């Protein structure tokens, strides 16, 4: 049993209502109209058609639900759009929405077809995905517009920054040196500095500048970073000496130390709500499966990443204890993705060990190249290319963060984070 909803931000989006749907229309302002429609379906297929501005949500994939439950989730998202004014995103290629396109010497770019094949308009934007990133999916659930990349923001603050900004950069990491062999990129520390350059413009765009502090405090900082510190640093022993200097536990401690410093820097700038995403099971991405020779997960790599994730979860507990005026939550990406790998059918997947676009073993030895023909049935693949999840997986991960249990988001989910004072 599956349910479909459609949302439109402009008045024109509600024209031509389809029969057979439960339609709910919410007028937030003269220009902002949310339109939700839910339809009972018998298929359990999970698809997304960006060209129709339509997302198919499956209420748990196995047990289904009902139209009221479906629309309740969406209504909550619409209501929270009024509570969460903006998202400020920091991270790597998992959430980069075009920043590296503007970096002349950057080698890590996704500015060519078939990247973006299933995104709005079907054109590449710089997202390392066939469609939406997990941040795009969170924007959908929160009723926010998709975020402009930092490199598109001018000194005059255009476009509007009041819905947030995406600072993520492909090949960037927690450590400044991570990914340096891939040319220009914004490390986490530079991304925080980039936010600082936008703050005056954000304040000037507010209708009431005195609400600036409240605006930042109600906004959410989303951090999705750390994968490159392993893939493009610690595991790349031919170019980096970090593995010779640190054992896996000590390297994870080093990362957490730097991560903490940047998180507290964001806190000092006025942000008070944080979603800190852990690193996924890197040993199971197509690239590392291909390197294993047998197509199996590289469990040694997963164990390394586990040290970082344990440290990040502990950091969340410490930050919440030390800063009662703020709220920090840990996104357990590792377990969420592992659940999809172990029980693919429950999530609508048929292929979890190979990329949809790429060449070689597990379609993970050569990255998705310009004009390469991707797989059919992209919504049934967990991975889009050698490193990155598909739109279908990203939507599921966003749902887990939005209203999931403590198994996947701790100590509270995004809905609960939104309602924190």
Q: For tokens 């536990």, what's the residue?
A: 249
Q: Which two tokens stand for residue 146?
A: 């998709």
104, 184 in Cβ contact below 8 A? yes
List strand residue ranges (DSSP E) for 225-297, in order.
273-277
The DSSP string of 334-391 is HHHHHHHHHSGGGGT-SEEEEESS-BSGGG-SBPPPTT----S-GGGEEESSSS-B-H
- d(CA 265, CA 254) in angstroms, rounded, equals 17
CA neighbor of 242 nearest in space, from 232, 233, 250 = 233
CB 58 within 8 A of CB 15: no
Find the Cα–Cα–Cα–Cα dihedral 386, 102, 263, 224, rounded to 10°: -20
- 8-state DSSP, 152: G
**C-alpha to C-alpha distances, 386 to 55, 180, 365, 381, nearest whole angstrom:** 25, 20, 7, 12
175 with 182: CB under 8 angstroms?
Answer: no
Separation between Cα atoms, residue 6 and residue 78, nearest integer Å: 12
**How is the beta sheet containing 2-6 ordered, strand by strand?**
40-41, 2-6, 54-57, 48-49
Positions marked catalytic = 93, 385, 388
User: Is residue 162 a contact partner of residue 206, using CB atoms and an 8 Å limit?
Assistant: yes
Residue given tokens 């994870």 in the structure block: 252
Cα separation, 191 vs 195, whole angstroms: 6
**Summary count for the chain: helices (H), strands (E):** 12, 14
């Amino acid at each position: 049993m599956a349910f479909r909803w459609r949302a439109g931000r402009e008045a024109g989006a509600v024209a031509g209502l389809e029969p057979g749907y439960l339609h709910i229309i919410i007028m937030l302002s003269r220009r902002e109209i949310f339109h939700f429609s839910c339809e009972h379906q018998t298929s359990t297929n999970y698809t997304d058609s960006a060209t129709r501005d339509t997302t198919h949500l499956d209420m748990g994939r196995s047990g289904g639900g009902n139209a009221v439950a479906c629309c309740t989730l969406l209504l909550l998202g619409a209501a929270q759009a009024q509570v969460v004014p903006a998202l400020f995103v920091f991270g790597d290629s998992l959430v980069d929405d075009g920043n590296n396109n503007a970096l002349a010497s950057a080698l890590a770019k996704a500015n060519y077809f078939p990247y973006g094949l299933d995104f709005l308009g079907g054109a590449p934007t710089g997202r390392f995905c066939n469609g939406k990133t997990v941040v795009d999916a969170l924007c959908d659930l929160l009723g926010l517009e998709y975020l402009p990349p930092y490199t598109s923001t001018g000194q005059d603050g255009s476009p509007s920054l009041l819905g947030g900004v995406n600072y993520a950069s492909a090949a960037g990491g927690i450590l400044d040196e991570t990914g340096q062999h891939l040319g220009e990129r914004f490390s986490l520390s530079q991304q925080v500095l980039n936010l600082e350059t936008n703050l005056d413009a954000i304040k000037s765009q507010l209708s009431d500048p005195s609400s600036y502090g409240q605006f930042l405090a109600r906004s959410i900082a989303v951090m999705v970073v750390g994968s490159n510190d392993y893939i493009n640093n610690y595991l790349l022993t031919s170019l980096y000496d970090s593995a010779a200097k640190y054992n896996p536990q000590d390297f994870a401690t080093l990362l957490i130390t730097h991560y903490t410093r940047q998180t507290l820097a964001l806190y000092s700038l006025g942000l008070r709500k944080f979603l800190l995403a852990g690193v996924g099971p890197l040993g199971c991405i197509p690239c590392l499966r291909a390197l294993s020779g047998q197509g199996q997960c590289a469990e040694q790599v997963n164990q390394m990443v586990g040290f970082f994730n344990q440290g990040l979860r502990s950091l969340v507990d410490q930050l919440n204890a030390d800063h009662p005026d703020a709220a920090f939550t840990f996104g357990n990406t590792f377990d969420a993705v592992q659940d999809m790998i172990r029980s693919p059918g429950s999530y609508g997947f048929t292929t979890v060990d190979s990329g949809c676009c790429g060449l070689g073993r597990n379609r993970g030895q050569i990255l998705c190249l310009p004009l390469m023909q991707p797989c059919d049935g992209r919504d049934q693949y967990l991975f889009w290319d050698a490193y990155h999840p598909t739109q279908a997986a990203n939507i599921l991960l966003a749902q887990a963060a939005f209203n999931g249990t403590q198994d996947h988001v701790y100590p509270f989910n995004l809905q609960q984070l939104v309602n924190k004072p």
